Amino acid sequence: MILTVLPVTAGAAPTVPASLAPTAMVGHPGILWGRAAPHATVRSQVLLGSGWSTSQIRQADANGSYVIPLTYGATTPGTYRWRVTATSPEGTAISTEMVTTRTPWQVASAGTAPTGRTANVWGSMPGAGHRSVWTEVIVNGRWSRSQVRTTNASGGFVVPLTYGATTGGSYRWRVGVSTTRGTVYSEPFTFVRVGPCTITVEGQRVVLAPTASTATVVKSSGSHAVVHMVQRTTGCGIRTVFRDTTGRVGAAGVTPAATRRQSTNTTPGGTFTITEAFGIASNPGSKMPYRTATSNSYWVLDNDSAYYNQWRERGQGGFRTGPGERLYDYGAQYEYAAVINYNRWPAIRGKGGAIFLHIHGRGATAGCVSITRANMLTFLRTAHAGDTITIR
C-alpha cells in the first residue's frame, strides 16, 4: 500500500505533495517521492525528540519531480514520522506529516535439532551482496559473535549454528549483516538443541535419544501387560499418546533377550528399536517404511537358512516355510504390525525372531506384544523409524 499526501493548506505555508510506502523492512531505506517547484531544493525531515531534523537533501528536476531515500532509522525497527520541505524562489512548501514503520528482518532455521547434528540459519538481505554476515548468540546475558560468512551476490547466506551443538538446551540467536547503510540485525530467534533425556514411564527409566520422537514401554505381569506410548513435546518434555491396559505378551511371560530361545512362548525383555512396519492391509499412514504382506510373504525362522529372522517372499527361495510364519495366515492380528528389532543384525540362530507389535488375537502371544487395533493404528501414525520399545 502506498501513502500519498495531497497538498493541503497549513496556515500561510504552501504545501508540497509527497508519497511514501508506509512499511519497509530494516536494511531497505525506502523512498519519498513527489513533485515540487522545478529545481526546488527538497529536504526529507524526520521528527526526533528535539523536533524536525533534516535527513537528506535533493534537487527537484526540471519538472519538479523528486525522489529521496529514507535513510534515518534504516537499520532499526520502529515507527518514524516524516515530512518534506521544498524551497524555491517562491518560498518554502511543507508536506503533510507521514508515518513509516521499519519492520524487523526475519531469518529462518529449523527451530530444533538433536545434539551433534549440523544445523543452520539462512536468509537473504537484498542489496547486500558479498558482504559480511555473522551469527550471534546470548552467552552470560550478552550477545557473542559465533560464525562469520560472506553473502552471495544476491545477499543470500547459510550460516551454521555451532554454539551449543553438543549440549542440549535452548539458545537465543540473531544474525548480523554489514550493509552500506550500517549493520542490520535480524529479529532474535530461539533454537533448541535436544540431547538424550532420561524419562520415567510406568516406573521404568528410559533414555529418549536426541533423534527419538516417541518411546513405548511394556510393563508385563505374566502374559498381561500395560503398553504405554509417549511422545516428545519440547526438549525432554513428553505427553502420553496412549496407555493400553489390555496389552498381552508371550504365554510364558517376559525373559531377558540375552537368554531367550526360540519356540519358548516368551517375549524378549530389553530395549529395542522399531524401524519398519507391515500389514495385510494397505499402509494406514505409517511414519515408518511399510510393506503390505501377500499370501507369499513369510518371516523366516528356519535355523538352516541364511535369511533367518527376515522377511522373505516364497518365490525368492532359500528357506523352509514350515518353521516360519506365513504372515497372511495371521489375519486380523497382522492387519497392522511393527517389527521389534530383536535378534537382528546379526540374527543368531536358535534365539528366535518374528517379534512384532501387533493387534490382539484371542489371548497371550507366542512372543510378540499385542495391543488394541485403535492403538496399533495410532502407533504407526506416530512413531518414527528408530524409536524404541522397552519390554520389562
Cα 286 from Cα 284, distance rounded (Å): 6
pLDDT, tens digit (0-9, with 9 covering 90-100), for 163-175 = 999 998 999 999 9
219: region left, alpha or beta (phi > 0 left; psi from -120 to 50 alpha): beta
Cα 300 from Cα 342, distance rounded (Å): 14
SS3 of residue 194 by DSSP: strand
Per domain, the residue ranges of the chain are 3-102, 108-194, 197-391
DSSP state of 106: P
Residue 86 confidence (pLDDT) above 80:
yes
Position 73 confidence tier, pLDDT thresholds 50, 70, 90: very high
Percent of the chain at pLDDT above 90? 93
DSSP codes joined into one string, 229-294: EEEE-STT-EEEEEEEEEEE-BTT-EEETTT--TTS--EEEEEEEEEEEEESSPP-S-SS-EEE--
Q: Which residues pair with 247 in a beta bridge?
A: 225
**Sequence-distant contacts of 304-311: CB under 8 A, at least 24 apart:** 308/347, 308/349, 308/353, 309/343, 309/344, 309/347, 309/352, 309/353, 309/354, 310/344, 310/347, 311/278
Residue 52 confidence (pLDDT) above 90:
yes
Full-prediction pTM beyond 0.75? no
Query: What pLDDT score does 234 carry?
Result: 79
Position 10 confidence tier, pLDDT thresholds 50, 70, 90: very low
How many Cβ atoms are within 10 Å of 130's Cβ, its own excluded?
10
Residue for grid cell 537484498: 126
> Residue 140 corresponds to which amino acid?
N
**Sequence-distant contacts of 142-151: CB under 8 A, at least 24 apart:** 143/174, 145/176, 151/124, 151/125, 151/177
* Torsions phi, psi for 52 (to 5 deg): -75, 135
Q: Considering the domain 3-102, what is its CATH architecture?
A: Sandwich (2.60)
Cα 47 from Cα 53, distance rounded (Å): 6
Q: Which helix (H) or strand (E) holds 189?
A: strand 189-194
DSSP codes joined into one string, 140-188: TTEEEEEEEEE--TTSEEEEE--TTTTS-EEEEEEEEEEETTEEEEBPP
Cα 251 from Cα 363, distance rounded (Å): 8
C-alpha cell recorded at residue 285: 499412514
Position 29 confidence tier, pLDDT thresholds 50, 70, 90: confident
Residue 11 confidence (pLDDT) above 80:
no
DSSP codes joined into one string, 369-392: EEE-HHHHHHHHHH--TTEEEEE-
C-alpha cell recorded at residue 304: 538352516
Residue 222 confidence (pLDDT) above 50:
yes
Query: What pLDDT score does 376 carry?
Result: 98
Q: What is the rounded average pLDDT for all residues in the chain?
A: 95
CATH of region 197-391? 2.40.440.10
Query: What pLDDT score does 260 carry?
Result: 98
C-alpha cell recorded at residue 54: 533534516
8 A C-beta contact, residue 227 and residue 244: yes
Q: Which residues pair with 320 in a beta bridge?
A: none
**Which range, of 1-15, 90-104, 139-153, 225-239, averages the lowest pLDDT?**
1-15
pLDDT, tens digit (0-9, with 9 covering 90-100), for 156-199 = 999 999 999 999 899 999 999 999 989 999 999 999 998 899 99
Class of domain 108-194: mainly beta
Q: Is the peptide bond before 268 cis (omega within 30 degrees of 0)?
A: no
Percent of the chain at pLDDT above 70? 97
> Are both 3-102 and 108-194 of the same fold?
yes
DSSP state of 212: -
SS3 of residue 14 by DSSP: coil
Query: What pLDDT score does 13 carry?
Result: 64
Residue 8 confidence (pLDDT) above 80:
no
Position 1 confidence tier, pLDDT thresholds 50, 70, 90: very low
